[in-house]
Amino acid sequence: MRRKHLILLSLLLVFSIVCSFPAYAADAELQGSSQIAVTHAAVAWSNTTPGRMGIFYSIVCSTKMDVLGASKVEIYRYLNGKWEIEETISAEDYPDMLDSDDSSCQVTIAYSTIYLNIPYYARVYFYAEGPYGISTAIQRTEVI
């Protein structure tokens, strides 16, 4: 009887450990607190200028923030069978990436790519600083 309880307890422990792994993997890109309510990021090609893309992002917070927006945007390209960073745009270089004293922020950045006719995507690093500290989140756009 004791052996059955030990086996059952061992199986239960293994099952609970295995079930916890997908939860950590699913949240790998989003690290933030409850101050960030919604984020959105997208990229699109210009209809008029070849190699020009627009990077759009928005952030909505649960309350008015001292600072919110994106601290940086990484632009990735697929070249020679691998993804690599082509450019990193930071708030230090492009101050309009951040807003202040608001609960939401929307920004569009125009970017001219180095290569034509290859896949691109962007990774946006969201940032919000408010009454409960600093919150961050990372979101990847679709590939275009």
37-52 tens-digit pLDDT: 999 999 999 999 999 9
CA distance 102 to 111: 26
Q: Which domain holds residue 76?
A: 36-140
Residue 8 DSSP class? H
Mean pLDDT score of the chain: 84
Structure tokens at 106: 């929307």
60: enclosing H helix or E strand: strand 52-79
99 located within any domain: yes
CB 99 within 8 Å of CB 130: no
Specify the pTM: 0.77
53 located within any domain: yes
In DSSP terms, 84 is beta-bridged to 77
CA distance 43 to 143: 8
2 located within any domain: no
Question: What CATH code is carried by the domain that includes residue 58?
Answer: 2.60.40.3930
Place of tokens 């919150």: 135
90 located within any domain: yes
104 located within any domain: yes
Task: Name 81's Cβ contacts closer than 8 Å, sequence gap at least 6.
Answer: none
CA distance 3 to 133: 51
CA distance 124 to 41: 7
What pLDDT digit, counting tens, does each position of 44-84 carry?
Answer: 999 999 999 999 999 999 999 999 999 999 999 999 999 99
Place of tokens 């990484």: 74
128 located within any domain: yes
113 located within any domain: yes
117 located within any domain: yes
CB 107 within 8 Å of CB 97: yes
User: Domain total for the chain?
Assistant: 1
